[in-house]
Amino acid sequence: MAADELATLAALLADRSRARFLLALLDGRAWTSGELAQAAEVAPSTASEHLTRLVQGGLLVERRQGRHRYVQLAGPKQARLLEDLLAYLGPTDPPKPTLSASAANQALRRGRTCYDHLAGRLGVAITDAMAARGLLTEDLTVTDDGLTWLTDALAFTPPATRRPLARPCLDWTERRSHLAGAVGAHVCTHLRANDWVRRIGTGRAVRLTPTGETALRDLLGVSPPA
């Protein structure tokens, strides 16, 4: 029954450690059980138990390589669920953050990965610029001009999958939509492959490089997020 399935999903999310694991995995990478245990400040044995539940519940998938156990989000559907829940909650900054925590929070707001696409002010700025140039419609559908531009400027090839070409993803810090779907993922991959954006530390935050600032200004008129 739908009610039973909803209750089961809610139970999976109703634990602080499991919630921390899921938020960490929103960076789109595969993490080891030990890395997640350290991030959530729990014992390795506790992390293993929680991860088994999340895998069995369909939120994560598991990969084994040698002695290591890697887990990551099961796919874009699960990432979107988490982002939608964060957007529903709204800003949840601590009342008196430390200096380092405040800096990390601001970095996430400026730019971050949302599973496999860009979010934060950077992601929204790129999305807005593409829409302003007629490459996307108001509901973030790719136009014919947009598909031509993506092919010529970013070497994009539409994938032979059932994944949406483009879709809006509500940004939980900006309270507006950024671009997701196959196009959103390709934009993120292209920017990272060309060293236009770089990850900050080990988390989800990213920043534009000087080369990236120039490239996005030339391509879309995008300025670095303040």
* Tens-digit pLDDT profile for residues 138-164: 999 999 999 999 999 999 999 888 889
Task: Kindly state whether residues 214 and 134 are assigned to the same domain.
Answer: yes
Task: Kindly state whether residues 69 and 155 are assigned to the same domain.
Answer: no
pTM (whole model) above 0.75: no
Cβ atoms 49, 36 nearer than 8 A: no
Question: What amino acid occupies position 43?
Answer: A
Task: Kindly state whether residues 148 and 169 are assigned to the same domain.
Answer: yes
Cβ atoms 33, 69 nearer than 8 A: yes
Task: Kindly state whether residues 185 and 208 are assigned to the same domain.
Answer: yes
Task: Kindly state whether residues 153 and 171 are assigned to the same domain.
Answer: yes
In a domain, 97, yes or no: no
* Tens-digit pLDDT profile for residues 52-111: 999 999 999 998 777 777 898 988 888 888 988 888 886 655 445 554 556 667 888 899
Q: DSSP states of 34-72 as a string?
A: HHHHHHHT--HHHHHHHHHHHHHTTSEEEEEETTEEEEE
In a domain, 226, yes or no: no
Domain that holds residue 158: 78-92+103-220
The span from the CA of 191 to the CA of 198, in Å, is 9
End-to-end CA distance of the chain: 48
The CATH number that applies at residue 49 is: 1.10.10.10
The span from the CA of 9 to the CA of 91, in Å, is 23
